[in-house]
Amino acid sequence: MSGLFGLGQSLLLALPPERAHDLAIKSLELGLYPRATEPDDKRLAQRLFGLDFPNPIGMAAGFDKNARVPRELLAMGFGFVEVGTLTPRGQSGNPTPRMFRSMTDRAIINRLGFNNDGQAAALARLQRGAVGIVGINIGAGRDSKDRVADYVSGIERMAEVASYFTINVSSPNTPGLRDLQAPEALDELLTWVQKARAALPGKPAKLLVKLAPDIAEEDLAEVVRVILRHSADGVVVSNTTLSRNGLHDRGFAKEAGGLSGRPLFARATRMLAQVYTFAAGKLPLIGVGGIDSGETALAKIEAGASLVQLYTGLVFEGPSLIGRIKQALVEATDREGCDNLAPLVGRRAEEWSKRALPA
């Protein structure tokens, strides 16, 4: 049964974006969603971060903010799910309306502001278990007096249920949060976060850092060096952008917040390739931003991503996008005569890193 995710796609697109999102989550909770019925092609499988990914397609953070439906998303055919962003305490986020959709630009602007129920509520849900890989995206509270301490407490509190952690220092909707991406601030943050991980019992979950696509090119190389110096395990590229370049819907473009969807693709993919190049291929990357077809997913991989994540593309394309991406990636391995995706990762990174951005 496809429920609101199949025949109801046009209904969801007719509703205000945040209302549509709430209905999509409820549809999943009620079991009204399409299941993946075929096993993934073995050529899509990878071992990264000490984890076995059945396929490289993940649900990006921001969709399941409160860890309500990770099992259901995995059952739809995602290879992994990232929940959150989770803050130490619940918070309501910014005033509504705070999500805006443009059918013309196939894009969304949001200024949600880390609205979530808090880590304790998500922890209780995730302790019920999930069959598959579930990453935990953690952030700082809006009114926090010690943001570094917020990330440390998130690592400590959520460790038992995290397949991996993503440190979100790149949302544009929490004032001052992106300041933590500055090399000196990021150095301090990762120092304390890694100390917290090292103190955990057993083998701690891997640590990824999520970056904004608006980092100045002259600063990006140093940011990558900081991430490497602190032995982070990967980078998520990228979060939403404050740029409005390439938008045609003028009323939509005037809204404040982070832009996601098709107009983000070129900017995020160029930055992905630059991070891959600066890291000399030493860091596994997750490519996010503007993926709405098999071709765009393949482009992310060729630019340097080992894994990809969807959200906005799924809003406009529906759940069939997952299967279409899998098919496109399998066909790419056929064309190249390879039995896995590894030979495709980063093979066009140099080309993508030098591409001009659309005006």
Residues tagged active-site: 171
DSSP 132-174: SEEEEEE---TT-S-HHHHHHHHHHHHGGG-SEEEEE---SSS
Helix (H, G, I), strand (E, B) or coil at 167: strand
CA–CA separation, 116 and 121 (whole Å): 9
Helix intervals (H) in 4-137:
9-14, 17-29, 70-76, 119-126
CA–CA separation, 331 and 78 (whole Å): 18
CA–CA separation, 78 and 326 (whole Å): 10
Q: What are φ and ψ of residue 158, in 5° steps?
A: -100, 5
CA–CA separation, 105 and 64 (whole Å): 24
Cα 127–chain centre separation:
22
Q: Which amino acid is at 348?
A: R
Tokens encoding 217: 């090119």
Residue of 310, 318, 320, 321 lying closest to 4 (CA atoms)? 318
Tokens encoding 334: 């056929």
Specify whether the CB–CB gap between 81 and 133 falls below 8 A: yes
Specify whether the CB–CB gap between 277 and 350 falls below 8 A: yes
Q: Tell me whether the omega of the peptide bond preceding residue 312 falls within 30 degrees of 0, making it cis.
A: no
